[in-house]
A and B are shown apart, each in its own frame.
Chain A
Amino acid sequence: MKTAVCIKQVVTREWQLRVNDQKTWIRDADASFELNEPDAYALEEALRLKEKHGGEVVVCCAGPARATQVIREALARGADRAIHVESDAFTAADGATVAEALASAVRDEQFDLVLTGLQSDDQGFGQVGVVLAEKLGMPHATIIMDVQVQEGGLRVKRELEGGWFQWVALPMPALLTIQSGINQLRYATLKGIMAAKKKEIRKAAAPAGSEPLQKILSLYVPEKAKQTQLLGGSAADAAKQLVVKLRDEARVLQ
């Protein structure tokens, strides 16, 4: 089975976000970056499917040059090779633009299966995977918590709201968006890191730019919905104040 895993590089969760002067994106020149977490689960699922059914795992990324960091990491975890559609324009691009770039890179590869994370930790529109499926003419299923390969296709477990699930069968080639927690992640071994250095990263040109369909007008810190009483001082002071508040003001300790 030949599987593509689409990955994105995002700023780390711990990174203190600051908005740029135009208020259209964050200041990320000196940020630290990581593999988008749901994509890490998609990669892990692809590696497990390969261990069970054989084949090849190819990492695909539409991102700026610095995204090589997460591509190398994916190769170190066990992916066989990578395709990098490189452009600075992808840093804050909308889902349709990223999906078009990924589609141009994977269209001729004849993948049996394409996996993506269900959404990105930065913009979080949650559409690249499904738009990509439409562009590739593949059937898709989203928010997947289990993947079974069966005669003629796949049987996958979709997560629904509130603890509900549903099995869905679909023919291959297909695209799935993977939910976090579908598996336990592996980390790169030293051997994997060494091996990754010899693996191919094919650079692909970004497709001719079409007008983006949507635009971030401004990015800002949200206003608080509630007036939070911040309790300061030492840990002991804060704890003392909190217990008094909970007992006498909120009356939730009885």
Chain B
Amino acid sequence: MSVLVIAEQRDGKLNRATWETIAAAQQAGGPLRVAVIGAAVEAVAGELAAAECERVIAVEDQALGEYTADGFVLALSALIEQEQPALVFLPHTYQTRDFAPALAARLGRPLITDVTGVKKDGDRLVCVRPMFQGKLNADVAAGGPPPHLVTCQIGAFRADSAARGAAAAPVVKAAVAVDVSRIRQKPEAPFKEAKQAVDLSQASRIVAVGRGIKAQENLKVAEQLAQALGAELAASRPICDAGWLPMDRQIGSSGQTVAPKLYVALGISGAIQHLVGMKGSRTIVAINKDADAPIFEVADYGIVGDLFEVIPAIVAELNRS
């Protein structure tokens, strides 16, 4: 099964998740090609040529300088028709999420998103991915004529396990026609919200709260634990969505990524969007009433119980010792 990896770059800088996707594509087997599209991608293509692959395909077009869903669907649907791969692998970034379903629909082909593992079953590829907020995993297979599209969850495959070639792979240029008049989205420059007051990535201990905290007034229970541990207070997305804590204390794919020496998750179920932001923490403690919560999959220590009994007990114990 020949695989085409679509690399992600912005302003000539390669997104590291591309290497994870290359590692996943190598596991899927078959001759590998890597494509990168943009306005000026020569340097990135050169970087990608280190991968063990048949060739790197560089598609340069001024219309692809700024990301737009329409521009990328036009360019990639044309490229895929030229290359005729059996599989197309992409990193499951926010950018991919924006265009890949439209690309699959335009090609009339299946798209399996957020994949965490790949297995070969004869000449068929079986993809493993989370469902039900990570509480279950599913083996999913695509059917019908190729190509089948797959996006790889960030952090699920190891970038450093991507095989490098003995010599640099050839870089070839490919041309695709991108009709600018068919690009309907007009993007402005990306920006960061000004008030990013807290840099949680520097904290050595973090106490994070999730839905299990139930009400804003209960936050003081978590604050007491944070204080006793000398920790920063943080939260999963729903808590910030509700306005109970400011957005800059959010951990996860849409917030900050942290790796403190201690991470205490209080009433956080552990949806993947949260896990990607904290699973690099050295020691993870999870306290949750649901023994099946996915957070326990990454926790070193777990307590299944009522937050409002367990937290005060820990605070009392810390203050005693």
Partner of A229 from B93, B192, B300 at Cβ < 8 Å? B300
Given known A-B contacts A161-B94, A214-B143, A238-B305, A135 and B314 have beta carbons under 8 A apart:
no
Q: Is B104's CB under 8 angstroms from A219's CB?
A: no
Of B102, B242, B312, the most chain A CB neighbours within 10 A belong to B102
> On chain A, which size bracket covers the interface?
35 or more
Q: Is A143's CB under 8 angstroms from B144's CB?
A: no
Query: Which residues in chain B, 301-321, are within 8 Å of chain A measured between CB atoms?
Result: 301-306, 309-310, 312-314, 316-318, 321
Q: Is B105's CB under 8 angstroms from A168's CB?
A: no
Give the residues in chain B near A95, CB-CB below 8 Å: 101, 111
Mostly, the B contact residues are mixed
Assess whether B218 is interfacial by the CB under 8 Å rule. no
B106 to chain A, nearest CB (A): 6
Assess whether B297 is interfacial by the CB under 8 Å rule. yes
Assess whether A187 is interfacial by the CB under 8 Å rule. no
CB-nearest residue of chain A to B95: A160
In the bound complex, how far is the Cα of B284 from the Cα of A224, in angstroms? Answer: 14
Q: Is B193's CB under 8 angstroms from A163's CB?
A: yes
A126 to chain B, nearest CB (A): 6
Contact residues of B with A, CB < 8 Å?
69-70, 73, 93-95, 97-102, 104-106, 109-114, 126, 130-144, 184-193, 196, 205, 211, 229, 237-238, 240-243, 248, 253-257, 261-262, 269, 282-286, 292, 294, 296-306, 309-310, 312-314, 316-318, 321
CB<8 Å pairs between A and B, sample of 13: A95-B101, A122-B131, A124-B131, A134-B106, A160-B95, A162-B256, A163-B255, A181-B241, A184-B243, A228-B297, A242-B301, A245-B301, A246-B301
Contact residues of A with B, CB < 8 Å?
11, 13, 16-17, 19, 26, 94-96, 99, 118, 121-131, 133-135, 139-143, 158-171, 179-181, 184, 211-222, 224-226, 228-232, 235-236, 238-240, 242-243, 245-247, 250, 252-253
